[in-house]
């Protein structure tokens, strides 16, 4: 699977997405500078969200539309939150152009059919289905019909929801599916991350897998990488002093850069299945054990446990020959500290 110029999955490096979300705080210049900064952190992609308050909900103040769930946004209505957080559609073309200039992949999460049509005009290389849209099967069906890679967050999903979303894509002939383990809590407590689910998602649904993170810091993404995540998504903000709905659980430039470094170092640590050793380590084998003559000996003396030993360094015979040569004789006189070789044995 390929998103833009990046191969996803297999032995390819983890695809790291900087989520812009509402972290422009309503300022186009901040959005532009955030994209430029994301490139400098080492992120592979910047992701937008394409909606308006009216495409997501209605402007209603009754109890059904008021947020009261212990989140950062308690007291607001859904409409108020989305109206504050959305990225103006008239910005998108400029943001995509800036991303192209910077050499960073840009794509988005659409939240209705009109957003998909709009993003198609911008030739997005992939689509992201947000956690709370995983049950919007008509939307997933429409996105999948575009034949592009589709990344689906599973934050609020039960297994049957995930299965239905995946099958919806496959029925449209779209098998370029990435499932992201996600905890839809903002911020997300570590004990709810359940990152062991990542390899299980891959096995159970036969798709590429990743992690959309809302925890504080960068520990969770590095652990997710170690568990097989091929995609990491994390909210990114230019500077937390900007404020905004998502600032609290976003990483700033320094923190995101550190996360990217930690993910890349984790990939180095994971490496590949290999029983070969490097040339440097091979050179260190000289410090391994081998058989040495540890007493002065003369021609004809018997080889015994007293005059040969398995010791460091490794210039003598392999220790596996120890019992095989006991009782044989020396071919000459040799000093203590001589590496034992075949030519010394009769």
Q: What is the DSSP string of 21-50?
A: TTTTTT-HHHHHHHHHHHHHHT-SEEEEEE
Of 117 and 83, the structure prediction assigns the larger pLDDT to 117
For the cut 80, the answer to whether the pLDDT of residue 75 exceeds it is: no
- The alpha carbon of residue 203 and the mean position of all alpha carbons in its chain are separated, in whole angstroms, by 17
pTM of the model: 0.87
Span 310-321, pLDDT tens digits = 999 999 999 999
Residue 180 sits at φ, ψ, to 5 deg, of: -105, 120
| pLDDT > 70 in the chain, percent | 99
Span 81-115, pLDDT tens digits = 888 889 999 999 999 999 999 999 999 999 999 99
Mean model confidence pLDDT for the chain: 94
- Tell me how far apart the alpha carbons of residues 193 and 215 are, in angstroms, rounded to a whole number: 8
Which residues touch 63 (CB under 8 Å, ≥6 apart)?
none
pLDDT band (50, 70, 90) for residue 80 = confident
- Two tokens at 329? 């004789």
Class level of CATH domain 2-51+86-270: alpha beta
- Domain ranges, ordered by start, for the chain: 2-51+86-270, 279-344
Span 141-171, pLDDT tens digits = 999 999 999 999 998 899 999 999 999 999 9
Fold match between 2-51+86-270 and 279-344?
Answer: no
CA–CA–CA angle 310, 312, 318 (5° rounding): 50
**Average pLDDT of span 116-136:** 97
Highest mean pLDDT among 57-61, 63-67, 122-126, 245-249: 122-126
The predicted structure's pLDDT at residue 322: 97
DSSP class of 288: S
Nearest to 15 by CA among 24, 6, 23: 6
Check the CA dihedral 202-208-214-220 and report its sign.
Answer: positive
237 in Cβ contact with 247 (< 8 Å): yes
> Tokens 């989520």 — which residue?
19
The arrangement of secondary structure in 279-344, i.e. its CATH architecture, is Alpha-Beta Complex (3.90)
For the cut 80, the answer to whether the pLDDT of residue 195 exceeds it is: yes
Span 32-72, pLDDT tens digits = 999 999 999 999 999 999 999 999 999 998 988 888 766 66
pLDDT band (50, 70, 90) for residue 243 = confident
- Cα atoms found within 13 Å of the Cα of residue 216, Cβ hemisphere only: 3
């Amino acid at each position: 699977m390929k998103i833009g110029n990046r191969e996803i999955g297999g032995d390819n490096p983890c695809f790291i997405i900087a989520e812009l979300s509402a972290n422009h705080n309503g300022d186009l210049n901040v959005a532009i500078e955030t994209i430029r900064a994301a490139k400098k952190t080492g992120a592979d992609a910047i992701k937008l969200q394409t909606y308006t308050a009216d495409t997501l909900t209605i402007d209603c103040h009754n109890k059904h539309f008021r947020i009261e769930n212990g989140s950062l946004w308690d007291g607001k209505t859904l409409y108020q939150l989305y109206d504050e957080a959305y990225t103006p559609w008239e910005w998108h073309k400029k943001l995509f152009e800036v991303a192209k200039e910077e050499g960073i992949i840009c794509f988005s999460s659409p939240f209705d059919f009109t957003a998909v049509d709009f993003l198609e005009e911008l030739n997005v290389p992939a689509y992201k289905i947000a956690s709370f849209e995983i049950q919007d099967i008509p939307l997933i069906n429409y996105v999948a019909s575009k034949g592009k890679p589709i990344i689906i967050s599973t934050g609020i999903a039960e297994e049957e929801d995930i299965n239905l979303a995946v099958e919806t894509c496959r029925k449209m002939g779209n098998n370029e599916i990435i499932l992201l383990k996600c905890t839809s809590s903002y911020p997300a407590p570590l004990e709810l991350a359940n990152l062991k689910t990542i390899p299980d998602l891959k096995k159970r649904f036969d798709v590429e897998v990743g992690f959309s993170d809302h925890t504080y810091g960068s520990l969770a993404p590095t652990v997710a990488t170690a568990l097989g995540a091929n995609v990491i998504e994390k909210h990114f903000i230019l500077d937390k002093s900007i404020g905004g709905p998502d600032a609290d659980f976003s990483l700033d430039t320094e923190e995101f850069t550190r996360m990217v470094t930690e993910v890349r170092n984790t990939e180095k640590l994971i490496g590949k299945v290999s029983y070969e050793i490097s040339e440097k380590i091979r050179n260190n084998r000289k410090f391994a054990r081998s058989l040495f003559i540890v007493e002065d000996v003369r021609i004809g003396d018997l080889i015994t446990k007293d005059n040969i030993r398995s010791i460091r360094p490794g210039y003598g015979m392999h220790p596996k020959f120890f019992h095989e040569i006991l009782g044989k004789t020396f071919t000459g006189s040799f000093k203590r500290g001589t590496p034992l070789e075949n030519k010394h044995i009769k």
